[in-house]
């Protein structure tokens, strides 16, 4: 059979080419090695933690009660759930609302929009420890909420706001204008169009953003250390202090007394966050392949 592909060269031809130009081959090699390093780093960290941690995933680790002999991570898991739900309740309406304003209402080239974008970008660049300081000064001290899950949730809500905002914005932008025109043409108002037409079609993208935010909340430590604190045990109200899984992990690692349990907790935390992130990426990908 005759090969008609003109630009295709065989491996042997390419190798001969590289023999003549060793520098090019060297470049290819270091580029490949760099990529290999990045991939290996991920695989190594995940596999190492799983191998070291899985043997320590004992029923004791998931006992309902925490005490200093058995550093169960169950209360921390429950606290993480509570704080995640609280944070989402606060941040999702604001994130989606601002994205709707930016995409659907604001006029193009509006100065005000530029200011909001700049601020959101600034927010996403602020390190979590600075959020933690702010939460401590504002929610814990100035508003007298003391160190509590609520203070932690509000602090995290500000932290994940730019994430939810940006992903929602992107999702809204991908909704074709014909949807809007069709809805207006049928006599629907702007509000109705947004609620009945645009939001449902942008939902997967918004959801992917929210799940991404959940991943950040679950893994956050520095912002929570002085806002929701590191009290052990389950909370009786959201005004109580309670440690999340990530903080639990930090305390264990820092004390150095319960290394086995720390490995086990690391596995739980790592798998939780990885599953959340993969889920988010999966939903986002489904969305992009649909369009």
Partner 1 sequence: MRLNRIKEMAMQGVFLLTAITSIAAVVLICIFLFYNGVPAITEIGFLNFVGGQKWAPTNVPASYGILNMIIGSIYVTAGAVVVGVPIGVLTAVFLARFCPAPLYKVLKPATELLAGIPSIVYGFFGLMVIVPFIREHFGGGSSLLAASFVLGIMILPTIIGVSESAIRAVPESYYEGALALGATRERSVFKAILPASKSGILAGVVLGTGRAIGETMAVILIAGNQVQIPSSLTDGVRTLTANIVLEMGYSTGLHRQALIATGVVLFVFILIITLSMQAIKSRSEKYG
| Interacting residues with partner 1 between 17 and 76 (CB under 8 A) | 17, 21, 23-25, 27-28, 30-35, 37-39, 41-43, 45, 48-49, 52
- For partner 1, the binding residue among 57, 116, 179, 260 (CB under 8 A) is 116
Q: What is the distance between the alpha carbons of residues 10 and 7, in angstroms, rounded to a whole number? A: 10
Site stretch for partner 1 (CB under 8 A), options 55-63, 66-74, 127-135, 201-209: 127-135
The one-character DSSP state at 139 is I
Q: How far is CA 203 from CA 2, 61, 182, 270, 284, in A?
A: 51, 37, 19, 27, 10
Half-sphere exposure of 224 (CA within 13 A, CB side): 34
Of 1 and 11, CB closest to partner 1 = 11
Residues 91-110 that bind partner 1 (CB under 8 A): 93-94, 96-98, 100-102, 104-106
Question: Which one, of 183, 157, 178, lies nearest residue 98 by Cα?
Answer: 157
Least distance from C-beta 193 to partner 1, angstroms? Answer: 11
Residues 197, 179: contact at Cβ < 8 Å? Answer: yes
Of 2 and 142, CB closest to partner 1 = 142
Q: Is 133 in the site for partner 1 (CB under 8 A)?
A: yes
Of 82 and 160, CB closest to partner 1 = 160
Q: Is 276 in the site for partner 1 (CB under 8 A)?
A: yes
Q: Please spell the DSSP secondary structure of 54-107, one letter per residue.
A: GGG--GGGG-SS--SSS--SHHHHHHHHHHHHHHHHHHHHHHHHHHHIIIIISP
Site stretch for partner 1 (CB under 8 A), options 55-63, 130-138, 170-178, 200-208: 130-138
Residues 172-201 that bind partner 1 (CB under 8 A): 189-191
Q: What is the CA radius of gyration of the chain?
A: 25
């Amino acid at each position: 059979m005759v090969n008609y592909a003109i630009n295709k060269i065989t491996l042997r031809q390419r190798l001969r080419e590289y023999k003549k130009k060793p520098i090019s081959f060297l470049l290819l090699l270091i580029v490949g090695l760099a990529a290999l390093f990045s991939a290996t780093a991920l695989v190594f960290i995940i596999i190492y933690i799983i191998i070291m941690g899985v043997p320590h995933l004992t029923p004791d680790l998931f006992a309902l009660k925490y005490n200093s002999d058995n550093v169960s991570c169950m209360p921390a898991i429950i606290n993480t759930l509570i704080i995640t739900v609280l944070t989402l309740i606060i941040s999702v309406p604001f994130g989606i609302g601002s994205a709707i304003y930016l995409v659907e209402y604001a006029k193009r080239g509006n100065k005000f929009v530029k200011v909001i974008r700049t601020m959101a970008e600034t927010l996403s660049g602020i390190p979590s420890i600075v959020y933690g300081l702010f939460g401590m000064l504002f929610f814990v001290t100035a508003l007298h909420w003391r160190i509590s899950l609520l203070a932690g949730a509000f602090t995290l809500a500000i932290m994940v706001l730019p994430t939810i905002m940006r992903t929602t914005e992107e999702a809204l932008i991908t909704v074709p204008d014909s949807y809007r025109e069709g809805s207006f043409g049928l006599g629907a108002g702007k509000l109705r169009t947004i609620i009945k037409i645009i939001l449902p079609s942008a939902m997967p993208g918004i959801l992917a953003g929210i799940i991404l935010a959940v991943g950040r909340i679950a893994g956050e430590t520095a912002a929570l250390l002085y806002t929701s604190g590191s009290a052990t045990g389950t909370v009786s109200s959201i005004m109580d202090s309670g440690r999340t899984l990530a903080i639990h992990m930090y305390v264990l690692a820092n004390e150095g007394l319960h290394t086995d349990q720390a490995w086990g907790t690391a596995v739980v935390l790592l798998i939780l966050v990885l599953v959340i992130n993969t889920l988010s990426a999966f939903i986002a990908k489904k969305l992009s392949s649909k369009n």
